Structure 1
């Protein structure tokens, strides 16, 4: 219930600041989760990207004000965060199907996107397997990053791996792979966001391996500090259920580090795992 209340408090904060600055760091603080994960958590449980939800709510509020013909459109545009009437008009038309000036005519049909609310939904009839791993050492990962649009991640990431298989990059990683493991985080790694910051529209997917040798000239090094991880078999299923089912019931919060997809070698069971950074509430 605490988790539910915190997420609804975030929605209240957005409503109170539609005509001002909406601070992503502040929203993460209200939700008691990391900046890195908050926008993706919001999108997962609401079904809409955080930035898109804010945009639609602002344009809904703007449409109501446009009905008041004594308010100038340029003032409404500035109030809801647009630098110019042109950029406001383009966004308004994309949402409402008409320009702000056309919306002032009698009988015009506009779209109102209501404030959402989070409620309890009975789920969890299928158990989620997981384990907790405490790593007291840095993870040194070498590899390459690729930009990924959050909304297309489930389609884009498989294509990144397919391209790596075709162009020989995957085999190069396999040839460099770890030979003396300190933990079970071995194999080919996909780090979902190189930097620990909010990445609502896009993030960098870093494909690499744990490696202690000299970093090749065509790669870069990523250092992830010691921490605690919740580990789930079956990456696609884990992503679907992580934010909406496991996090609310777990007693953990998400730490301000990226998640890691781990793909193991042939005959390994499970074939892949999702490593999620966590901390005690």
Structure 2
């Protein structure tokens, strides 16, 4: 995976002024564009699209300061159809417009070219199992919420607490297959994993495909496939979020699996009364890498 990400960085450099074939590179490397984008954002700390924009504007800044070409020519060279679009992207990265930077020589906020390297981590074993599961259905109450990487997501918390206590019990009685219990389901995520991007959150249970679905519940059909299941115990939600991040930085680079499209599922196996600590399982859809 480290080699694949560095190939991706090289591809970005070769096509800073144009679109590039991410899926073609992924096929050449024996993986998928979906997995490459998810791993890039997790390890780089920014979406691939944001890195491309920063690198374009870093290189463009040199053209602006040299002053050998007009701004429209520079905009087109770097993949923009107008000076207005180029100016917005330039200002978003550098904090000043191209004309100001050409006059004053700055300010500039440069993005160095990334290079991924393997570091020795993984000194804490990850409690993982791989399951091959038939198709199932997720039933519950769904809403659209923004993605938040750290801490409790208040939008999800508000969605859950708005449900009557009797509804939680009703959902529990409907569940009849793994993953067991009440589930926290995230679906339709931005592959770049951009903080603030919207996802579908469902509070519900897993049922067999032939289970009748009440009209007042939302559903997500989950096809047959393999799942990597990570068990976590500790402060909630910090331990769960740390493990989620470690799947990208430690587990996937060291195992012959890759993410496939599908929902991410968390089930709470046990918890303190005040929810300060919990034992959870994180279910991620995977396929051979």
Query: TM-score with structure 1 length normalisation?
Result: 0.84
Name the residue aligned to 1:95.
93
Matched, 1:181 2:164: no
- Counterparts of 1:225-264 in structure 2, within 5 Å, are 225-234=223-232, 235-264=240-269
TM-aligned CA distance change 1:13 to 1:147, over 3 Å: farther
Matched, 1:146 2:151: no
Name the residue aligned to 2:43.
45
CA RMSD of superposed structures (Å): 2.8
Name the residue aligned to 2:188.
194
| Distance of 2:246 and 2:156 partners within structure 1 | 23
Name the residue aligned to 2:115.
117
| Distance of 2:141 and 2:82 partners within structure 1 | 38
Matched, 1:271 2:279: yes
Residue deviations 1:150-177 (CA, integer Å, cap 9, x gap): 4x2434x632342134211675244122
For the 8 Å contact 2:172–2:181, the answer to whether it is kept is yes
Point out where structure 1 has 5 or more consecutive residues left out of the alignment.
Answer: none
Once the two structures are TM-superposed, the CA of residue 239 in structure 1 deviates from its matched residue by 0.7
Once the two structures are TM-superposed, the CA of residue 255 in structure 1 deviates from its matched residue by 2.2
Name the residue aligned to 2:236.
none
Residue deviations 1:29-63 (CA, integer Å, cap 9, x gap): 45644444433321211122222111100111111
Query: TM-score with structure 2 length normalisation?
Result: 0.82
TM-aligned CA distance change 1:105 to 1:226, over 3 Å: same
| Distance of 1:145 and 1:253 partners within structure 2 | 27
Paired residue total: 272
TM-aligned CA distance change 1:142 to 1:98, over 3 Å: same
| Distance of 1:266 and 1:45 partners within structure 2 | 30
Matched, 1:210 2:215: no
Structure 1 residue corresponding to 2:68, chosen from 44, 67, 70: 70
TM-aligned CA distance change 1:233 to 1:244, over 3 Å: same
